[in-house]
Structure 1
Amino acid sequence: MADDHEQEEFFHIRKMVLELDRLVKNGDIHSLKNPVAQPDYWRKRIKVLLATPAISASIARRAAALLAQLDRIADALKKSR
């Protein structure tokens, strides 16, 4: 089972990906100039989380779903530029 740090990290990443998705859906791409607001930044953080040896299967599945969501966000950003 994932320890508290891994769970906290997952929920932080999830919150930020949801916020990124909201910004993109609202067309607020000017807010996305910061490197932390880029899908690649969060993709890297998720990959580090997934590399944790004791990560739970549940968090691993949910993290994989966030990676798919980041792919959709990145596609939407490319289309909006």
Structure 2
Amino acid sequence: MSYDFAEKDLAHIRHVLSHLEQSAAGARVFETGPMASLDYWQARVRAILAMPMLSTHAQKQAKDLLGRLERLKDLRRCAAGS
């Protein structure tokens, strides 16, 4: 994976995550299907983080995305428990 592709992939993941966060904020029912799989998106971000010599900027973006994914997972767990 090239570093340019990694930057583009992070931007894409950020866009998808924003959509999932907005959907979660406005609905009691969470989206389902392959695009809504938070484990899938976490795996993609982790694959980018595993790249050797990844820029500090890209590392920060990836770690921020992992944090957002964790918060969304927590939100889903809380909603499922209620």
Return the TM-score normalized by structure 2.
0.85
Alignment length (residue pairs): 79
- Shift of residue 28 of structure 1? 5.4
Which one has more relative contact order, counting CA pairs under 8 Å at least 6 apart? 1
Distance 1:77 1:18 in 2: 15
Q: RMSD of the TM alignment (CA)?
A: 1.6
Alignment partner of 1:44 is 2:57: no
Return the TM-score normalized by structure 1. Answer: 0.86
Stretches of structure 2 lacking an aligned partner (at least 5 in a row): none
Q: CA deviation at 1:21?
A: 0.8
Q: In structure 1, how many angstroms separate the alpha carbons of the residues matched to 2:21 and 2:66?
A: 12
- State percent identity of aligned pairs: 27
* Runs of 4+ displaced beyond 6 Å: none
Say yes or no: does 1:8 pair with 2:11: no
d(CA) in 2 for partners of 1:52 and 1:29? 35
Unaligned runs of at least 5 residues, structure 1:
none
